[in-house]
Structure 1
């Protein structure tokens, strides 16, 4: 069974050969170029990935463009910066049943020092605790590697197009009664500098997006 893998991408030309080279058989990479200024799109195409252009900047915009381009029954999302190993994708997708309402998140476990800055880890822990309190779902990480049925994801109608996209996905899935679980995956030092966790400013920007999504979804309850 083919599984589509959406890889939001902004200037990841250095990381893509490793990432795409470790894609398991049957996993079809969809690299969504989100306005890269390097050769990301060209490198991805040369390595056989499907390339989708999403000129509107935003992590959620890239994720959603990839979801719309996907055709497989099950769709995965993962970062394209080599911080996640594609070889672990089957560990995540193995818990998703086609046609179900399953959402599986990869809980990051640091295998090498420096992979997860302290400020980013603290922010994630606070968010995960708040998610547990609000949804009752036992999550410890808003994991960047995740998988779910494509039809179900489209039906959730996630609206955020910035860094709040993963959070809104979980909140909407929980409100709709989805089965949400997490499995452990390795978290590795990324290639290059992170646009989010690599700087305090980037982390604060992501937190602001998530706070907005949190408030908006709370109003709809």
Structure 2
């Protein structure tokens, strides 16, 4: 079955090398929204030349870029993908289909690195630590908090996300769990990124990101007042494909 169309939000900071490949992988008929977060390498012009919608977000921060893209989106379904060529946006139709069919409200890509260089040890350790804290906070048994994801736009806006730094992806999952959303994972290949990471490329960057996420987890549960998702059976994380 042909999945519904969606908007793909691509937060971008100096990703001129990766953009051509990433935008070539956007599913046909879908709209790429590249949110330029202060690039100095011509990323915004490259994205526009390649047919993407370019949104400029002057406030620095991964969350600021993601949320600006969410607000700029107009499709019923919105996907998120890193803009560094580490993840393949061509995989997103299957994510959207799960949400559209009512099997879940939020789909996350569980990263499976293709090489040791794709996911440095410090970044993997930080992700594991946050996943454990998330389980204690929400009960969700997730293995990854990967940036490849899909959900309904209005439902996401209804979560009332406020983090504008590295904690944004985690806050989305925490608030989704508090609202009773069903959250599932799908295995996705994780490639070595193009260029240097701005967040988890070093131990220091990973440490700052984990601290941002600790703040999100420490916040009290506050169910959103926005439009609810389809009635779920309670927060749960389903097994990723092929994981046993």
TM-score per shorter chain, which class? Answer: over 0.9
Query: 1:100·1:152 contact (CA, 8 Å) conserved in 2?
Result: no
Residue correspondence of structure 1 range 39-118 to structure 2 within 5 A = 39-97=42-100, 102-118=105-121
Query: 1:168·1:217 contact (CA, 8 Å) conserved in 2?
Result: no
Query: 2:108·2:149 contact (CA, 8 Å) conserved in 1?
Result: yes
Q: Residue by residue, what CA displacement relative to the aligned partner does 1:44-68 show, whole Å, maximum 9, x if unpaired?
A: 0000000000001000000000000
TM-score when normalising by structure 2: 0.86
Residue 16 of structure 2 is aligned to residue 13 of structure 1: yes
User: Within 2, Cα distance between the matches of 1:78 and 1:70?
Assistant: 14
User: Within 2, Cα distance between the matches of 1:105 and 1:213?
Assistant: 18
> How far is 1:112 from its partner?
2.4
Runs of at least 4 residues off by over 4 Å = 98-101
User: Within 2, Cα distance between the matches of 1:210 and 1:45?
Assistant: 32
Corresponding pairs, count: 220
TM-score when normalising by structure 1: 0.95
Gapped runs of 5+ residues in structure 1? none
Q: Secondary structure at the match of 1:94?
A: helix
**Higher mean displacement: 90-99 or 45-54:** 90-99
User: Within 1, Cα distance between the matches of 2:29 and 2:101?
Assistant: 15
User: Within 1, Cα distance between the matches of 2:185 and 2:175?
Assistant: 17
What is residue 130 of structure 2 aligned with on the other side?
127
Query: 1:101·1:152 contact (CA, 8 Å) conserved in 2?
Result: no
What is residue 141 of structure 1 aligned with on the other side?
144
Gapped runs of 5+ residues in structure 2? 224-244
